[in-house]
Chain A
Amino acid sequence: MFSSIFTSEAFAEAWTIIKTQFPLALWETFYVTVLATAFAIIIGLPLGVLLVVGEKGGIKPMPKALMAVINFIINILRSVPFLILMILVFPLTRVIIGTTVGTVASIVPLVIAAFPFVARLVESCLREVNPNLIEMAQSTGATPFQIICKVMIPESVPSLISNFTVAITTILGYSAMSGIIGGGGLGKIAINYGYYRYKYLVMFLAVILLIILVQIFQSVGTKLAIKTDKRLKNQTVKKRS
């Protein structure tokens, strides 16, 4: 069946589809991914902080029961396969967006799937912060909130950026999957044309575009992480002219 992929008719047909559909699909995929990541960070970052500071021996210990519940919820959400999670959150999506189909509606399951993941990433970043620095802040009279905002988070910015890059590429993959249940973007094109109508060339192109997006996100993230890390030696001190 693959012999029919590279015929000139197939190319002509694919080109029409690409011209008419790809710019919008690319844009949809991009903003869904970025928005879902942003919301996942908005929820996941404070949660990740709570996981570190709220534990026994942390800088702001929380009731044991609360910590157990949070950990339990995160673990449950992390273990449900995304395809099933998308269907499970239909009621919630309907409440928030008003519908369960379409590009915007797919943001809800993406956020629900991604925030627990982000919370765990943040947790692991913050655990890497040198405990001596926290002791220093405490001995300087910092409140727990100040320690979080002025020590723990700023000191882990480079590793947070690396980890958020992992998150955004993962969410990009999920967003493509949401094409199955009515989400828009490159995933929808790949499934509609490739899976339902056997237009493999279109599907390949959609996949190639996804790969390129991942590459872009990843290299921008890596560069940013390196650039922000002041622990690396030999950085030139900016001179005022």
Chain B
Amino acid sequence: MAVFSGRYFFMIEIQNLSKTFKTADGDLEALKHIDLSIADGDIFGIIGMSGAGKSTLVRCINMLERPTEGTVCVDGVDLGQLSQKELRAQRRDITMIFQAFNLLMQRTCLKNVMFPLELLGMNRTEAKKKALELLEIVGLQDKAKAYPAQLSGGQQQRVAIARALTTNPKVLLCDEATSALDPNTTNSILELIKDINKRLGITVVVITHQMSVVESICKHVAILDMGEVVEQGTVEEVFSHPKSTAAKNLVFPEGEEGSFVVGNEGEHFIRVVYNGAYAAGKPMIARLAIEKGIEANISYASTKGISGKAFGTILLSISGDENTVKEAIAYLTTEPGIEAEEVEVNVQ
């Protein structure tokens, strides 16, 4: 793919990145030995709890924050080696949108979108033309003359996105870009970002603390916990088989799967893991009862649909002997993308 076009396959390569802040009460290791490679054209999610170091990491990608150690390469350029002047030029390729939108409040929307072009010294007519085009892309050409205070949050973020696109960047960094928005507006902004990624081929890095954001637009995800990447991979892998505690907490915010389930004597439990099964329209539990005569109760379920496939866990309770359980497991696992095993739960 991108290799053939002469560009680097990895748009962003972060190696052994550490950032330590010197604070009044000692050193604070905000990032510890981060290694991340983000493919050209990817939508890459970085998810973690508040204080995990997400913003620091994203600020290291455009060198707003100088790493204490390690390197950040964007499109093959080692940003740490650049002078301030060269870095400023690079930043036209690595633009950013923010949680608080960060529009200039004393400028009209059009002038806000023109801002990066003004910094470049582009002539006004040309800059205005380009800005109007971009406002059209984000669906706000009629708000060109309005001031940000007259716009809703979602509209303000659209203007910010238009502004971030004026310099034809290679990378768009989104730091909690939808965290200040309601769910509907969040979805429309995510759709816009997805669309931009597809149409313009811009590599997008999405920083968030919300699972739903990663699920709905990211292809790859890294989980950041206390300054460390504890898990990374495709969204499907990481979310269907969370290994680290941090990942489990994000995927199952209501607690470790089934840990609160208490069984009775003679009850058996089967954990069914959906790992990308096309489960839609196939009522497994009902068919288990009809075809095998095995009745199962759902004791716990946490599944999510990601790009049409099911991911997650269901805990079934079955009354019967060992053979019934084996039969049920055999039946369930005939379906591709489903794993099942008997598990022990606390007995009353």
- A: which residues have CB within 8 A of B? 130, 132-133, 135-143, 146, 150-151, 154-155, 157-158, 228-235, 237-238
A232-B149, A233-B150 given; A139·B100 CB < 8 A: no
> Across the two chains, which residue of chain B brings its CB closest to A238?
B145
User: CB-CB < 8 A to A136: which residues of B?
Assistant: 96, 98, 102
Is the Cβ of B119 less than 8 Å from the Cβ of A140?
yes
Can you offer 18 A-B residue contacts whose CB atoms are under 8 A? A132-B102, A133-B102, A135-B98, A135-B102, A136-B102, A140-B91, A140-B119, A140-B167, A141-B90, A142-B119, A150-B115, A151-B104, A154-B106, A230-B149, A232-B149, A233-B150, A237-B145, A237-B150
Minimum CB distance partner of B145 in chain A: A237
The contact string, 1 if C-beta is below 8 Å from chain A, for chain B 317-343, is 000000000000000000000000000
The closest CB in chain B to the CB of A136 belongs to B102
In the assembled complex, the CB of B117 is this many whole angstroms from the nearest CB of chain A, namely: 10
Residues of A within 8 A of B287 (CB): none
* Cβ-defined contact, A155 with B115, below 8 A: no
**Chain B window 83-103, contacts with chain A (Cβ cutoff 8 Å), 1 for yes, 0 for no:** 000001111101110101010
Of the candidates A141, A151, A230, A231, the one having the most CB atoms from chain B within 10 angstroms of its own CB is: A141
Q: Which of B116-130 contact A (CB under 8 A)?
A: 116, 118-119
Chain A CB within 8 A of B261 CB: no
Contact of A154 with B149 at beta-carbon distance under 8 Å, contacts A141-B91, A141-B116 already known? no
Is B107 in the interface zone, CB < 8 Å from A? yes
- Known contacts: A133-B104, A157-B106. The answer to whether A139 contacts B149 by CB under 8 A is no
Asked if B64 is at the interface (CB within 8 A of a chain A CB), the reply is yes
Q: List residues of B (174-220) whose CB comes within 8 Å of A's CBs.
A: none
Q: How far is the CA of A42 from the CA of B208 in the complex (A)?
A: 46
B156 close to A (CB within 8 Å) = no
B28 partner residues in chain A, CB cutoff 8 A: none
Give A157 to B100 CA distance when docked, in angstroms. Answer: 21
User: A230: shortest Cβ distance to chain B, in Å?
Assistant: 4
A208 to B345, CA, bound (A): 89
Chain A residues with CB under 8 A of B105: 155, 230-231
Complex alpha-carbon distance, A164 and B129, angstroms: 37
A150–B118 touching, CB < 8 Å? yes
A139 touches B96 (CB 8 A): yes
Q: Give chain B nearest CB distance to A211 CB in angstroms.
A: 33
B residues 215-261 touching A (CB-CB < 8 Å): none
Specify the chain A residue showing the minimal Cβ separation from B102: A136
Are B104's CB and A155's CB within 8 A? Answer: yes
- Let me know if B88 and A143 touch, CB within 8 A: yes
CB distance from A240 to the nearest CB of B (A): 8
Question: Is B106's CB under 8 angstroms from A139's CB?
Answer: no
- Identify the 8 closest CB pairs spanning chains A and B, nearest first: A141-B91, A136-B102, A141-B88, A230-B147, A139-B96, A231-B105, A132-B102, A140-B116
From A132, A140, A141, A146, give the contact of B100 (CB < 8 A): A132
Q: How far is the CA of A54 from the CA of B147 in the complex (A)?
A: 31
